[in-house]
Amino acid sequence: MPKVAVIGVGQSAFVRAYPGSIRELAFEAYREAMHDAGIKAEQIDASVVCSAPEYDKQRTPAGLMAEYLGLNPQPTFYVESVCSSSSSGLRTAYALIASGLHDVVMVLGFQKMSEISSAESQERMGRGADIQWEAPFGTMMPAYYALHARGHFEKYGTTEEDLALIRLKSSTYGLINEKAVFRKELSLEKILEPKFIATPLKVFDCCANADGSSCLILASEEKAKDLCRKPVWIKGLGMATAPINMAGRDSFSGLKCAQLAAKRAYDMAGITPQDVDVAEVHDCFTIAEMMAYEDLGFAEPGQGPQLIRSKETYKEGKIPVNVDGGLLSKGHPIGATGGSQIRTIVLQLRGDAGPMQVPEAKIGLVHNIGGVGIYGNVSVFGTE
Amino acid sequence: MGFEQFGIISFTGVTKTEQFVEFLKNNELRGTACKSCGAKFFPPRSDCDKCLANDMDWFSITGEGTLITYTKAMYAPAGFEKDVPYVLGVAEFSDGIKVFGRLDKSLPDDAIKAGMKVIVRILGLEDDRLSYELTAA
Ligand SMILES: [Zn+2]
pLDDT digits (tens, 9 = 90+) for B96-117: 999 999 999 999 999 999 999 9
- The answer to whether residue B43 neighbours chain A at the CB level (below 8 Å) is yes
H or E stretch including A370? strand A363-370
* pLDDT > 80? residue A320: yes
Nearest to A383 by CA among A346, A354, A358, A357: A346
Residue A129 lies in a domain: no
| Strands B98-103 and B130-136, bridge-based pairing | parallel
Q: What confidence score (pLDDT) does residue A123 get?
A: 72
Distance B49 CA to ligand 1 centre (A): 7
Q: Are the Cβ atoms of B68 and A252 closer than 8 angstroms?
A: yes
Nearest to B13 by CA among B25, B1, B26: B1
H or E stretch including A6? strand A4-11
- The CA distance from A300 to A273, in Å, is 11
Is residue A272 exposed (0-12), middle (13-18) or buried (19+ Cβ within 10 Å)? exposed
- The CA distance from A327 to B27, in Å, is 45
Same domain, A40 and A151: no
Chain A CA closest to residue B73: A198
To the nearest whole number, what is the mean pLDDT of chain A?
96
Same domain, A222 and A289: no
- When CB atoms are compared, the residue of B12, B86, B89 closest to A138 is B86
- The answer to whether residue B74 neighbours chain A at the CB level (below 8 Å) is yes
Nearest to A149 by CA among A262, A296, A304, A323: A304
Q: What percent of chain A has pLDDT over 90?
A: 93
> Can you list the pairs that B27-34 forms with residues at least 24 positions away whose Cβ atoms lie under 8 Å?
B27/B122, B28/B60, B28/B122, B29/B60, B29/B61, B29/B99, B29/B120, B29/B122, B29/B132, B30/B58, B30/B59, B30/B60, B30/B61, B31/B58, B31/B59, B31/B61, B31/B97, B32/B56, B32/B57, B32/B58, B32/B59, B33/B57, B33/B58, B33/B59
Residue A84 lies in a domain: yes
Cα angle value A366/A51/B11 (rounded, 5°): 115
**H-type alpha helices, A213-361:** 221-227, 256-269, 286-295, 304-309, 326-330, 337-350
- The CA distance from A288 to A293, in Å, is 9
Same domain, A337 and A198: yes
- The answer to whether residue A102 neighbours chain B at the CB level (below 8 Å) is no
- The CA distance from A65 to B91, in Å, is 45
Active site residue A83: yes
* pLDDT > 90? residue B40: yes
Contact status, residue A54 vs residue A127, Cβ threshold 8 Å:
yes
Residue A161's domain is classified under what CATH number?
3.40.47.10
Residue A278 lies in a domain: yes
- The CA distance from A102 to A68, in Å, is 21
- Phi and psi at B43, nearest 5°, equal -60, 160
| Strands A46-50 and A76-79, bridge-based pairing | parallel
Q: What's the domain range around A275? A: 140-208+235-382
To the nearest whole number, what is the mean pLDDT of chain B?
96
Contact list in B for residue A245 (CB cut-off 8 A) is 43, 100
In one-letter notation, the amino acid at residue A100 is: G
* pLDDT > 90? residue A184: yes
Q: Which of A83, A206, A228, A257 is catalytic?
A: A83
Same domain, A263 and A375: yes
Handedness of CA A88, A90, A92, A95 (dihedral sign): negative
- The CA distance from A228 to A235, in Å, is 17
Query: Is this complex's ipTM strictly greater than 0.90?
Result: yes
When pLDDT is cut at 50, 70 and 90, the band that residue B15 belongs to is very high
B54-68 average pLDDT score: 98
HSE value, Cβ hemisphere, 13 Å, CA-based, for A273: 19
Same domain, A173 and A305: yes
Residue A123 lies in a domain: no
In chain B, the N- to C-terminal Cα span, in Å, equals 32
- The CA distance from A318 to A316, in Å, is 7
Q: Are the Cβ atoms of A122 and B75 closer than 8 angstroms?
A: yes
Alpha-carbon dihedral B121, A199, B129, B90, rounded to 10 degrees = -40
Same domain, A279 and A217: no
Same domain, A159 and A175: yes
pLDDT tens for each residue of A326-360: 999 999 999 999 999 999 999 999 999 999 999 99
How many structural domains is chain A composed of? 2
Same domain, A59 and A173: no
How many CB atoms lie under 10 A from the CB of residue B50? 11
A291-311 average pLDDT score: 98
When pLDDT is cut at 50, 70 and 90, the band that residue A52 belongs to is very high
Contact status, residue A132 vs residue A247, Cβ threshold 8 Å:
no
H or E stretch including A142? helix A141-156
Q: What confidence score (pLDDT) does residue A57 get?
A: 83
- When CB atoms are compared, the residue of A119, A150, A247 closest to B100 is A247
Nearest to A28 by CA among A232, A52, B23, A36: A36
The residue with greater pLDDT, A53 or A211, is: A211
- The CA distance from A213 to A69, in Å, is 13
H or E stretch including A164? helix A160-174
Domain termination residue (choose one: A172, A200, A232): A232
* Cα diameter, chain B: 45
Residue A49 lies in a domain: yes
Residue A271 lies in a domain: yes
Q: Are the Cβ atoms of B73 and A126 closer than 8 angstroms?
A: no
- The answer to whether residue A365 neighbours chain B at the CB level (below 8 Å) is no
- Phi and psi at B5, nearest 5°, equal -75, -10
A75-102 average pLDDT score: 98
Q: What confidence score (pLDDT) does residue A44 get?
A: 98
Q: Are the Cβ atoms of A201 and B11 closer than 8 angstroms?
A: no
User: Considering only residues 89 to 128 of chain B, which have any Cβ-Cβ distance to chain A shorter than 8 Å?
Assistant: 89-90, 97-102, 114-115
Q: Are the Cβ atoms of A143 and B102 closer than 8 angstroms?
A: no
Chain B CA closest to residue A154: B114
Q: What confidence score (pLDDT) does residue A115 get?
A: 74
Written as one string, the DSSP assignment of A104-135 is EEEEEEEEEGGGS-HHHHHHHHHTTS-TTTTG
Active site residue A35: no
Residue A132 lies in a domain: no
Same domain, A241 and A334: yes
* pLDDT > 70? residue A27: yes
* pLDDT > 70? residue B1: no
- When CB atoms are compared, the residue of A117, A139, A147 closest to B69 is A147
Residue A131 lies in a domain: no
Q: Classify residue A83 by its DSSP letter.
A: B
* pLDDT > 90? residue B78: no
pLDDT tens for each residue of A219-277: 999 999 999 999 999 999 999 999 999 999 999 999 999 999 999 999 999 999 999 99
DSSP, collapsed to helix, strand or coil, labels residue B130 as strand
pLDDT tens for each residue of A109-123: 999 998 777 777 777
Contact list in A for residue B74 (CB cut-off 8 A) is 196-199
